[in-house]
Amino acid sequence: MIVTVFRNRLSDDPDAQAEYAELIGHISQLATTMPGYISHKTYVADDGERCTIVEFEHEDGQAEWRRNAEHAAARVRGREAFYSEYRIQICEELRSSHWSSDEGGRNA
């Protein structure tokens, strides 16, 4: 599995934030159509830092997402208007474990 960690802070410009809110729904939906897409979730810290975690089954799917023309245009717009800063880390899963009380306490 390939995991993308996208940490960012939005600009203070209210117009940019409104445009971002419109665009992010479309871009999030578009991500779900990429080959190998598993999931993505965004978390916001108390200090305003945002973190989106995106999972793909394989590197080819993540690379296709990076090459997608609409996603590329959104990245450019993000640098121009939406973000005051960001950091992207692409990671390969080395090990995984899972536990859930719904599964009778078994490790999966």
Nearest to 4 by CA among 44, 63, 49, 80: 63
pLDDT tens for 24-80 read 999 999 999 999 999 999 999 999 999 999 999 999 999 999 999 999 999 999 999
What's the CATH code of the domain at 90? 3.30.70.100
What does the block give as tokens for 105? 């306490």
Q: Which residues pair with 54 in a beta bridge?
A: 4, 40
Q: Do the domain assignments include residue 107?
A: no
Q: Which residues pair with 42 in a beta bridge?
A: 52
Number of domains, the chain: 1
Q: Do the domain assignments include residue 85?
A: yes
Cβ–Cβ under 8 Å, residues 50 and 17: no
pLDDT for position 104: 66
pLDDT tens for 4-20 read 999 999 999 998 989 99
* Domain membership of residue 55 as a residue range: 2-96
pLDDT for position 88: 96
pLDDT for position 82: 95
pLDDT at 108 over 60: no
pLDDT for position 102: 83
Q: Do the domain assignments include residue 66?
A: yes
